[in-house]
Structures are given as C-alpha cells and as structure tokens.
C-alpha cells in the first residue's frame, strides 16, 4: 500500500468519526510510523509502506478515531515555538494561545535578562521557549507533579538549556525561595462544573490537575496573584494566561492586589487571554 492510499484511508476513518483535522492527523500519524516527513508525502505520493508500519498506523488511527486520543499524545510530541516538546498524559498539551503569551514577553524583554519563575510548568514549554530567546536569562520552574517535572527536565536537556533552569517540586503557596523579575503562569482555569463540557479528548486524556481551577475557575489564579506580590522584584511583571470570559474578574483581583495592567493579549478570536501586569509598590 502506498503512502497516498494509506493517508486517504486513515483520513476517511477519522472523518467518519467526526475528527475535524482528519487529513493532517492522518499525515502526522503516518509520518510518525514511517519516519518520513509530511512534506515528502506531498512530493511523492507513491512511497511504499511496509506491513509492520501499516499495522502501527492502523492502530494509531483507531485510537484517534474511536477513543479520541489527542494526536500529541499518540506521537509523544507537540510543536511549540518552532521546537518539538516531548509530551505525555502527565502534562497539558501546549497550545497556540500560550505561544501568543511567549511572543509578547520575548518582545518586551528583548535585550534584557529577566530572572523568571514559571508556575505550573507542565512540559516546560513556556520557560524553555523564553530562555531560548533570552539567552542570558535564567529561571525556576515549579510544579506539584513529579511526573510533569520529569518531562520538563527532559525537554530542557533535549533543547539544550538544562543549566539555566532550576526545577522544583512545589505549590505556589509553599514557594518562597527567590525574588523574580518575571513570573509567568498558565494555571488551571476551568471551573470544576465545566470540566464535563470539555471535548472528549481533553477531559478523558489531559491531566485534570492542570485543568481544574476550582468552583469558579479562579482558585489557582488567586493564589498565583497573591504570592506574586511577595516574590516579585520592584517593577516586576506577572504574566497570566486566563480562560475565555475571565478577564473582568481577574482584573479585579489584580487591582485588589496592587497590580497595574500593562498589556492585554487577545487570542485569534479576539478574546482577552493573557494579562501582563506590573506590581505597584507605592
């Protein structure tokens, strides 16, 4: 069977099972089992795929189609900031909205070397991406999950910046070690009662601990804001990713804790998804 035939077969199965990204998913899965790039399939549609690779491909397509398992977990990797990050079910899958946050921070700190804290680092995608761009910066990444920290450490080694990040198992409530120029966090922000409404692939496979933001979705956000008051340097910045529709409430919490909003960042649908604010010490 040729690559073209196999991609069409996989795509048809995924489409019948209501997978919107059925073509690209089929291409990615075949690329993974064959070791060939997606681009090579476009250039040559007649690659012969050997029987063992076909069996592996069929298995992955079935998991995607019938179990709705995310492609990133099937491949154990996800591209973020033009880098390939290792991911598994112990960490949240990096998303485009978070890249918008990284882009804003890289632009703001260009030419500077902030000392960075990443709260709830997960795969490490935020702090690793920032340190790839801010070559003189160093940082600390904390998470309450040992399994997540293990993945983040692997990514820091693969992407060649292990000596610039200190990984610490800690919750933000118990972390008091340093003063930082920049605190960044993509915390859990889904209200508990809304978890059941998430896509099957998210609620079934992604770690609940990285999604559950408590009764109103703001439990962890409140803790991050409150602790940041104590561990930010003068004129230090707090960069928060928030859920769609949470801006007004989070803005009020920031003001109550003496933060001044500096930048608001919207996603591709024009929803405010990130707030960059500076601590007012006066």
CA distances from 214 to 151, 188, 237 (A): 25, 8, 25
The string of pLDDT tens digits covering residues 214-249 is 999 999 999 999 999 999 998 999 999 999 999 999
Number of Cβ atoms within 10 Å of the Cβ of 145: 18
Token pair recorded at residue 26: 């089929």
CB of 169 within 8 A of CB of 143?
yes
Residue with structure tokens 């990204």?
Answer: 21
At residue 38, the pLDDT reads: 87
Do both 162 and 39 map to the same domain? Answer: no
The string of pLDDT tens digits covering residues 80-110 is 999 999 999 999 999 998 999 999 999 999 9
Specify the pTM. 0.94
Residue 71 forms part of a structural domain: no
* CATH number where 10 lies: 1.10.8
Do both 48 and 100 map to the same domain? Answer: no
Cα-only R_g, the chain: 20
State the Cα–Cα distance between residues 256 and 155, nearest whole angstrom.
37
Select the more confidently predicted residue: 135 or 43: 135
Do both 193 and 58 map to the same domain? Answer: no
Print the SS3 string covering 55-111. HHHHHHHHHHHHCCCCHHHHHCEEEECCEEEECCCCCCCCCHHHHHHHHHHHHHHCC
Evaluated on CA atoms 135, 127, 103, 132, the torsion sign reads: positive
Do both 160 and 261 map to the same domain? Answer: yes
| Structural domain that includes position 123 | 80-279
Q: Which residues share a beta bridge with 259?
A: 279
At residue 42, the pLDDT reads: 80
Q: Which residues share a beta bridge with 143?
A: 169
Do both 198 and 267 map to the same domain? Answer: yes
């Amino acid at each position: 069977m040729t690559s073209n035939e196999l991609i069409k077969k996989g795509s048809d199965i995924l489409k019948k099972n209501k997978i919107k990204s059925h073509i690209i998913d089929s291409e990615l899965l075949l690329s993974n089992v064959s070791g060939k790039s997606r681009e090579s399939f476009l250039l040559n549609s007649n690659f012969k795929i050997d029987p063992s690779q076909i069996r592996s491909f069929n298995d992955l397509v079935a998991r995607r189609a019938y179990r709705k398992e995310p492609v990133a977990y099937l491949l154990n990797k996800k591209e973020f900031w033009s880098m390939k990050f290792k991911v598994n079910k112990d960490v949240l899958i990096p998303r485009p909205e978070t890249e918008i946050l990284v882009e804003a921070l890289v632009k703001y700190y260009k030419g500077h070397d902030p000392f960075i804290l990443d709260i709830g680092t997960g795969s490490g995608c935020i702090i690793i991406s920032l340190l790839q761009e801010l070559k003189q910066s160093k940082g600390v990444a904390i998470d309450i999950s040992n399994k997540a920290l293990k993945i983040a450490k692997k990514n820091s080694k693969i992407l060649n910046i292990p000596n610039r990040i200190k990984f610490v198992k800690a919750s933000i409530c118990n972390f008091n070690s340093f003063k930082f120029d920049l605190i960044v966090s993509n915390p859990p922000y889904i209200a508990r009662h809304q978890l059941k409404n998430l896509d099957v692939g998210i609620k079934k496979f992604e770690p609940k601990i990285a999604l559950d933001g408590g009764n109103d979705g703001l439990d962890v956000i409140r803790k991050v804001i409150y602790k940041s008051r104590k561990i930010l340097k003068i004129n230090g910045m707090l960069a928060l990713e928030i859920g769609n529709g949470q801006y007004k409430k989070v803005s009020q919490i920031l003001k109550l804790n003496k933060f001044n909003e500096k930048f608001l960042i919207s996603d591709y649908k024009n929803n405010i998804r990130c707030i960059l604010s500076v601590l007012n010490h006066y």
